[in-house]
């Protein structure tokens, strides 16, 4: 057990739900590791666990009332939300997730969540239909786009008698997630002093003022890689096409639209030690962009769109020369013969590594949250590294660890 956990603090928010009793075990085990815990108990949470039991285990006062003058004098809700290293919401009911997503602040718990500038982790627990409801899934997506972490839910027998997703993650899993996060905060920065440039998202190639050529890339993988490299200490410039994602923490972001703009931004970010080309750059653009919207006039005549080839960003920065990054990594998004096509692409482009991934529609990779990678660093299969299917955040961390290993 790392001794520095004794300096760590968690603000635990217990919302309503039968699974609240499991959180008592979480408190006990985190305290065993020396982690300081303050707790906010919502009105719903107090229906399932008592303030006395939470206070006894945290060895701290339990906070419940937003408008308690005594509490505000001793520990204002702003200070309460800022003095923790992590805010943990467990169990996170559908109600509190909705309030978090919409920025409500009607009680102490939601006010603290809105006021905090610290990382937030949720452990959802609810009925399977509530979990699967489009509103809940939209709320989860909104929160995760803002960087809110999540552990669970698990699948299994639910307290309501039904079966499916919505079961609170086991205390051991919640504890492990909290401890891993807190330990990472003090982890060494092995890429400190290294400069990285990462490309992400699609490019939009105009046809006319209202139409463009693009692809289905969400930018999730590239953004996750930029954040993972920054967490490892690298000085990261993220060059991104049009996406709806928030900017990764600790990263310089340059926004572009076209492939030509992306190439210019990447070259402006050089020299760099690391380049990761995760963007799905459009291969072609229209040779002549129309100055006005192309009209359908009823004649049945279809405009003849002549295409020009876009610059090859990966091949350009892979060329030898004083500005070439020490490690150039590309992606090969393929729909068939994935590794064979990726291996050929690596040789053709001249990059050091290629991360091959299957983006056939059935995989859900484009726009989805998961990815399955084969890292290719040599001319034949003996060098292939196949990674299990995991979240794009997990892929980013795995790539960051592989880059660290390369430089060490």
Same domain, 181 and 132: yes
- Quote the DSSP letter at residue 133: S
| The last residue of a domain, from among 122, 156, 185 | 185
Which residues line the annotated binding site for CTP?
283, 293, 311-314, 331, 345, 349
The answer to the question of residue 93 being in a domain is yes
Q: What CATH number is attached to the domain comprising 51?
A: 3.40.50.1950
> In this structure, is residue 275 part of a structural domain?
yes
Q: Give catalytic status of residue 160 as yes or no.
A: yes
| Residues near 269 by beta carbon (within 8 Å), at least 6 away in sequence | 197, 237, 239, 254
Indicate whether 321 pLDDT > 90.
no
Within a domain: residue 199?
A: yes
Please indicate, yes or no, whether residues 92 and 119 belong to a single structural domain of this protein.
yes
Q: Are residues 165 and 245 in the same domain?
A: no
Q: Say what percent of the chain tops pLDDT 70.
A: 93
Q: For 13-26, what is each residue's pLDDT tens digit? A: 999 988 999 999 99
Residue pair 108/66 in contact by the 8 Å Cβ criterion: yes
> What CATH number did the domain enclosing 256 receive?
3.40.50.10300
Same domain, 123 and 243: no
Residues 102 and 137 in one domain: yes
pLDDT digits (tens, 9 = 90+) for 246-270: 888 789 999 999 999 999 999 999 9
Instruction: Give me the pLDDT at residue 245, please.
Output: 86
Of 80, 87, 83, 84, the C-alpha closest to 61 is 80
Co-location of 258 and 383 in the same domain = yes
Say whether both 260 and 358 belong to one domain: yes
Q: Which of 160, 277, 351, 374 is catalytic?
A: 160
Exposed / middle / buried, residue 372 (Cβ in 10 Å: 0-12, 13-18, 19+): middle
Q: Which domain holds residue 209?
A: 195-407
Q: pLDDT tens for residues 263-295?
A: 999 999 999 999 999 999 999 999 988 899 988
For residue 331, pLDDT over 90 is answered with: yes
Same domain membership, residue 199 and residue 181: no
Q: What are the Cα distances from residue 82, in Å, to 9, 40, 59, 117? A: 10, 14, 19, 6
Q: How much is the pLDDT for 364?
A: 63
Rounded to a whole number, what is the largest CA-CA distance in the chain? 80
Q: What angle do CA 132, 134, 137 make, to 5 degrees?
A: 70
- Do the domain assignments include residue 110? yes
238 and 305 in a common domain: yes
Tokens of 239: 């060059």
Between 180 and 162, the more confident residue is 180
- Of the pLDDT bands very low, low, confident and very high (cuts 50, 70, 90), residue 70 is low
Count the domains in the chain: 2
pLDDT of 366 > 70? The answer is no
Tell me which of 185, 208, 238 is where a domain ends: 185
pLDDT tens for residues 186-209? 778 899 999 999 999 999 999 999
Where does the pLDDT of residue 133 fall: very low under 50, low under 70, confident under 90, or very high at 90 and above?
very high
Where does the pLDDT of residue 68 fall: very low under 50, low under 70, confident under 90, or very high at 90 and above?
low
**Residues 211, 249 within the same domain:** yes
- The rounded distance, in Å, linking the Cα atoms of 112 and 11 is 10
Nearest to 30 by CA among 175, 184, 169: 175
Per-residue pLDDT at 196: 98
Lookup: tokens for 332: 């090969």
Select from 94, 97, 99 the least CA-distant residue to 129: 94
Q: Which of 185, 204, 229 is the last residue of a domain?
A: 185
Is 339 within a domain?
yes
Domain assignment present for 348: yes
The answer to whether position 277 is within a domain reads: yes
Please give the residue that has the higher pLDDT: either 390 or 187.
Answer: 390
Q: How far apart are CA 386 and CA 158, in angstroms?
A: 36
Q: Is residue 96 domain-shared with residue 125, that is, in the same domain?
A: yes
Query: What local confidence, expressed as pLDDT, does residue 77 receive?
Result: 64
Mean pLDDT of the chain: 89
Q: Is the pLDDT of residue 2 over 60?
A: no
Q: Assess whether 270 and 376 both reside in one domain.
A: yes
Task: Write the pLDDT tens digit of every residue in 397-408.
Answer: 999 999 999 998
pTM given for the model: 0.64
- Residue 190: inside a domain, yes or no? no
């Amino acid at each position: 057990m790392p001794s520095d956990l004794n300096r760590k603090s968690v603000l635990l928010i217990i919302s309503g739900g039968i699974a609240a009793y499991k959180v008592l075990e979480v408190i006990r085990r985190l305290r065993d590791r020396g982690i300081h815990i303050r707790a906010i108990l919502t009105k719903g949470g107090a229906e399932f666990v008592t303030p006395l039991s939470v206070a006894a285990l945290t060895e701290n006062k339990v906070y419940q009332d937003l408008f308690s003058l005594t509490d505000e004098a001793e520990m204002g809700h702003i200070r309460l939300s800022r003095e923790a290293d992590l805010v943990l919401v467990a169990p996170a009911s559908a109600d509190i997730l909705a309030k978090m997503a919409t920025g409500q602040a009607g009680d102490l718990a939601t006010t603290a969540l809105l006021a905090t500038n610290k990382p937030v982790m949720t452990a959802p627990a609810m009925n399977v239909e509530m979990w699967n409801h489009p509103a809940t899934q939209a709320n989860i997506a909104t929160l995760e786009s803002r960087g809110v972490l999540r552990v669970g839910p698990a699948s299994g027998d639910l307290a309501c008698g039904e079966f499916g997703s919505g079961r609170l993650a086991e205390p051991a899993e919640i504890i492990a997630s909290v401890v891993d996060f807190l330990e990472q905060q003090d982890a060494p920065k092995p890429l400190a002093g290294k400069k990285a440039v990462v490309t992400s998202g699609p490019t939009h190639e105009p046809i006319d003022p209202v139409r463009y050529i693009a692809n289905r890339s969400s930018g999730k993988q590239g953004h996750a890689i930029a954040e993972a490299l920054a967490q490892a200490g690298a000085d990261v410039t993220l060059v991104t096409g049009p996406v709806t994602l928030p900017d990764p923490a600790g990263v310089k972001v340059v926004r572009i639209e076209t492939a030509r703009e992306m190439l210019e931004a990447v070259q402006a970010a050089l020299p760099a030690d690391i380049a990761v080309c995760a963007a799905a750059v459009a291969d072609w653009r229209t040779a002549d962009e129309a100055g006005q919207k192309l009209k359908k006039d009823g004649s049945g005549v279809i405009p003849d769109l002549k295409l020009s080839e876009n610059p090859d960003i990966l091949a350009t920065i892979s060329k030898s020369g004083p500005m070439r990054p020490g490690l150039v990594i590309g992606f090969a998004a393929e729909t068939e013969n994935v590794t064979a096509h990726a291996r050929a692409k690596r040789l053709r482009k001249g990059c050091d590594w290629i991360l091959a991934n299957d983006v056939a529609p059935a995989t859900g990779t484009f726009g989805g949250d998961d990815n399955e990678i084969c890292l290719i660093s040599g001319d034949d299969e003996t060098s292939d590294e196949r990674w299990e299917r995991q979240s794009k955040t997990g892929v980013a961390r795995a790539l960051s660890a592989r880059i660290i290993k390369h430089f060490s």
